[in-house]
Structure 1
């Protein structure tokens, strides 16, 4: 029985590694460009990937069970206001931490990020991911800052870390789509945006991006 369980773990790891290969290849490609990533013919689709609202609700209880329930509620939300309420609770669960040090570093990184002191914010987040590598929002916030600095290879690396821990992270998936679009890979951008929308159908502007990219990649319906 132990050997069978071990085999299942190995198979799961292999499947995840295969799924991450395109992301790793894209990161390497972006890193190796001598003049940086090419400028896409469109402006950046969004200023930055989706981020938590300024004020998050208080949440408690088991995070995994809470997230499972909230993701179901997010898909079933009858209107935009209800969806935003559920989305805020998901962000709150992702952001919460039992470590006072991590919470302090995250708060300071947010202040630095808002002040556009990106280098300071990155150093604070370096400490977060070193202290708590399983804390998803440390990786996600740093990925967002790297995106805003046009450091796409580094952002992709952090997105990979996020999705390995939380495959339902619609913010990271939307960020992945934005980077792929910036790199001119509309097919992968469309795939990432569709995955983000499948999890959170109420993401701002993403449905319009999916419509535009669908017409480019797959052609208009006749």
Structure 2
């Protein structure tokens, strides 16, 4: 099965407003000088999501053991799940409830809305990819995973899902490559190291 690589191009348009200047005639030389305006209070710094993710992914890769890695993984997952939009978060919650209730059709409709209104939100694509996988719609799942990895190339959950789909399709050499990539990002992924070992023996043969 040949898989086409999907690339995402971001366009940034910057616009600078023009300010018209008007000159006022000098009324009197004895005019009192205007008192300087009070400086506005500094705004609190907004959390830097990219910086936080970079730090956490670095900590995940350098984690000394599975327990420490799990703690970092939870923080990464939480950060990735935060869309920054109340509407999107509500749709994601409703989609999860629908999926838990085995209403896959409703869950899919809700996730379709998520990726439509928030296409830059990687987790929306990831959740929909998972649903496509559960529905055994592997082509659609792979297409959504491509979107996830274009937005966040370190999304180990999407990589694992991609590897599992490839394994299901008997594309074990590609599955092995993808899962090894996932382990580079998250060295303590549960059960993935065992699957990688099994696939390595199957694809590359046992070491002598």
Alignment of 1:1-222 (within 5 A): 23-24=3-4, 61-222=47-208
What is the TM-score with the length of structure 1 in the denominator?
0.73
Larger-Rg structure? 2
Cα distance in 2 for residues equivalent to 1:72 and 1:64:
12
Cα displacement (A) at 1:24: 2.4
TM-score for both structures, normalised by structure 2: 0.78
**Aligned-pair RMSD on alpha carbons?**
1.5
2:3 aligned counterpart, secondary structure: helix
What displacement does 1:23 show? Answer: 3.1
Q: Quote the offset at 1:82 in angstroms.
A: 1.3
- How many residues matched? 168
CA deviations over 1:86-130 (Å, ceiling 9, x no partner): 001101111112211101000101111222211111100000000
Structure with bigger helix share is 1
1:5 aligned residue: none
2:29 counterpart residue number = none
Structure 1 residue ranges (4+ consecutive) displaced by more than 3 angstroms after TM superposition = none
Give the distance between the partners of 1:198 and 1:207, measured in 2 at CA: 11
What runs of 5+ residues in structure 2 fail to find an aligned partner?
6-45
User: Whose RCO is larger (CA < 8 A, sep 6+)?
Assistant: 1
**Residues 143 and 159, structure 1, Cα contact 8 Å, conserved in 2:** yes
Q: Which residue pairs with 1:14 in the alignment?
A: none
Distance 1:62 1:95 in 2: 15
Structure 1 runs not aligned, ≥5 long: 1-21, 26-59
